[in-house]
Amino acid sequence: MNLPKGIESILIDKETIESKVTELANIIDNNYKDIETPLVVIGLLKGSFIFMSDLVKQMQTPLQVDFMIASSYGDSMENTEVSIIKDIETHISGRHVLIVEDIIDTGITLTKIENILSNRNPKSMKICTLLNKPSRRTSEVNIDFNGFDIDDHFVGGMGLDYAQKYRNLPYIGVVKNEKL
């Protein structure tokens, strides 16, 4: 396959991701099989947009979707400060909430979002992520549904970017570590 010139290799291919998404959707459906109100699935933009749409297409649980924008990395490779740019519109008090992320790295973003959302008294709140980088964690996060643990590569694709590039790649690729 022809890779974009900033991508050095494929870490997780498209087929492996697709079967993992199906597996996660089944596990999540089973987890929520007895809920009495539709699940509120909250995607953190921009990174989660592809994984979240692939995931909800495979789910049978009655659900609604909403989105938050909490950006921290900007165009650099280091996490600086988390800011909420767009909030959800759904009232989540008494509702079952599933937060969907593309990757949990230091855990700083999720910890901040969890604090904000738990103050609104959801009935339950769980976390689903496509990728997890446990070696980078500085802020503890309890992940309920995890796709893949990965080593400390900077990756792009399936919604993940480097300097806003590569989000559309249908696989997870390793980004070359050089000035672009």
Give contact residues for ligand PRP (rule: CB under 6 A): 44, 46-47, 71-73, 79, 101-110, 161
Q: Annotated catalytic, 149? A: no
Q: Which residues contact 18 (CB under 8 A, 6 or more apart)?
A: 54
Q: Nearest distance from residue 50's CB to Mn ion, in Å?
A: 12
- Any contact of residue 47 with Mn ion (CB under 5 A)? yes
DSSP secondary structure letters along 152-167: S--EEBTTB-BTTBST
Pick the catalytic residue from 13, 105, 151, 161: 105
Q: Does 157 bind Mn ion (CB under 5 A)?
A: no
Whether the Cβ atoms of residue 111 and residue 138 lie closer than 8 Å to each other: no
Cβ neighbours for 84, distance < 8 A, ≥ 6 positions apart: 68, 69, 70, 116
CA distances from 168 to 35, 46, 81 (A): 34, 11, 25
For ligand PRP, the closer of residues 32 and 113 by Cβ is: 113
> What would the x/- binding string for Mg ion be over residues 17 to 56, using CB under 5 A?
----------------------------------------
Contacting Mg ion (CB under 5 A), which of 54, 105, 114, 161?
161
Q: What are phi and psi of 166, to 5 degrees?
A: 80, 0
Binding partner of 158, given ligand PRP, Mg ion, Mn ion, none, CB within 5-8 angstroms per partner class: none
Say if residues 6 and 160 touch (Cβ distance below 8 Å).
no
Judged by CB, which is closer to ligand PRP: 29, or 66? Answer: 66
Q: How far is the CB of 47 from Mn ion (least distance, A)?
A: 3
Using the rule CB under 5 A, is 73 a contact of Mg ion?
A: yes
Tell me if 114 sits within 8 A of 142, measured CB to CB.
no
